[in-house]
Amino acid sequence: MKITSNGIQIEVEDSGGEGRPVALLVMGLGMQLIGWPDDFVHALVDAGFRVVRHDNRDIGLSQGFDQAGAGNLIWQSVRQRIGLPVRSAYSLQDMANDSLGVLDALGIARAHVVGASMGGMIAQRLAASAPQRTASLVSIMSSSGARRLPGPRPDVAAALLRRPPSRTEAALVAHSMGMVRLIQSPAYPQDDQVVADRIRRAMHRAYRPAGVVRQMLAIVADRDRAEMLPRIASPALVLHGEADALVPIACGRDSAERIPGARFVSIPGMGHDLPPPVVELLMHHILPFLDNAESRS
């Protein structure tokens, strides 16, 4: 369903039924709400949670910002490295406010906020700026955004800037699979056909590469999130793969160190994806954490 949130149209999926504690899932860069694996969602629903997912702005079926133009990612990244302001069509705080607006539209007073990658950054901002609405925070394969932290492995950074050779479906799928192979969990490789089918499903639902660039610019422009993290008052769990080539594990450790009382868990063999064995490992930590946070609240 589509709802009005923070003044824009946001696509939402609501599972599990009212009257349950709510888990709000926030996905990462360029990923749609269907990017959350079914087994991740089902594990939460089976554990008694109402699961709310949404397409972030500018992606999937949510409102786009094509009128703002795509922006120059390379030039803005150079500005960021030398300490100059980065121009972006919107901010990660705007996206956190979108997530908060989803809760408002659904009449939800508080939620356990679970974010992956860029979604973890958005979740961090939501927890810091709206503590009364955050029952707990789970940040997965994400970062505090502190400037001294390492970036992606060089081949991954180059792949992020590389464009597909054409706009045919075959070329787009091959391009996306190339990135998946670079960042996937080395201990839990996924079947190529399964990955290709998932990419096609997402492309047929929505294909918005300019929105991905604008989201990347919002990440690059987000300069003060690290200073906000000590304000987070809710229980926090930070999970990170030890083999993450896109967001190195040092980024997760730094997030946990900045959030008061946060628990940090590293996952051996996990990269920057959510294959079924990794989901099972994550749920081994997430479900007890949420149950404990819910009982405390």
Section 147-171 average pLDDT = 93
Question: Rounded CA gap, 209 and 33, in Å?
Answer: 16
pLDDT value for 81: 66
In angstroms, the Cα distances linking 259 to 136, 187, 226, 249, 264 are: 12, 29, 9, 16, 10
Give the percent of the chain with pLDDT over 70.
Answer: 95
**Region of residue 209 (phi > 0: left; psi between -120 and 50: alpha; otherwise: beta):** alpha
pLDDT value for 50: 98
Section 263-271 average pLDDT = 98
DSSP state of 85: -
Decide the pairing of beta strands 50-54 and 8-15: antiparallel
pLDDT tens digits, 78-123: 556 656 677 789 999 999 999 999 999 999 999 999 999 999 999 9
pLDDT tens digits, 61-82: 999 999 987 766 665 565 566 5
In angstroms, the Cα distances linking 276 to 36, 60, 75, 180, 297 are: 11, 23, 38, 15, 30
Q: How confident is the model at residue 136 (pLDDT cuts 50, 70, 90)?
A: very high
H-helix segments, 55-140: 73-81, 92-105, 118-129
pLDDT value for 68: 84
pLDDT tens digits, 160-212: 888 899 999 999 999 999 999 999 999 999 999 999 999 999 999 999 999 99
Section 131-139 average pLDDT = 97
Backbone angles phi, psi at 20, to 5 degrees: -110, 160
